[in-house]
Amino acid sequence: MSGSSEIVLGVTGSIAAYRACDLIRRFSEKQCPVTVIMTKEAEQFITPLTLGALSGRKVYRDLFAGDSDDWQMLHLSLTQRARALVIAPATANIIGKMANGIADDLLTCSVIASKIPIFVAPAMNTEMYHNKIVKENILRLEKSGVQFIYPIKGKLACGIIGEGHLAEVEDIVQAVFRSFKK
């Protein structure tokens, strides 16, 4: 594990993507610089400009967007200098890709190439969260060492109250810091 306190934050296409702003703020307050990798779906909910302004760093979105003067394999280099990879919010889509070894974008390639602890905080509709396939994917990932910060019951984008609401930001931050102390 790297000696750095840097966090790589993966942001996916959920209405809860706006809460990544608070995650960046909370990690930064704890002297943990944050580098953001966002999926193209996340850009439907929050802009790279917002996340970059809050983190004070470039936001990475494209697997092949390395600087031509200083070429590097982003899916390797971003997590090599970090202490943890946190995916929040994590959609059923990203969980399914991770569980099945699909690496078709910068975030999923970074997950597969990573040797650092991975934390996943799901956020989705209750029916999706309780779907048998999603549950099996979560179990499969847990068996491989991925740590989950489970969603809570709350008001969801569809208007219902149910399980699937992103965990509280402080609970996500504390889960990551507890792992640092081990």
Q: Which amino acids are annotated catalytic?
A: 158
As a whole number of angstroms, the distance between CA 141 and CA 70 comes to: 34
8 Å CB contact between 80 and 2: yes
The residue length of the chain stands at 182
Residue 35 Cα to chain centre, angstroms: 11
Q: Is 122 helix (H, G, I), strand (E, B) or coil?
A: strand
Q: Is 164 helix (H, G, I), strand (E, B) or coil?
A: strand
As a whole number of angstroms, the distance between CA 182 and CA 178 comes to: 7
- In this structure, how many other beta carbons lie within 10 angstroms of the beta carbon of residue 174? 14
Q: Which H helix or E strand runs over 172?
A: helix 169-181
Cβ neighbours for 105, distance < 8 A, ≥ 6 positions apart: 39, 40, 63
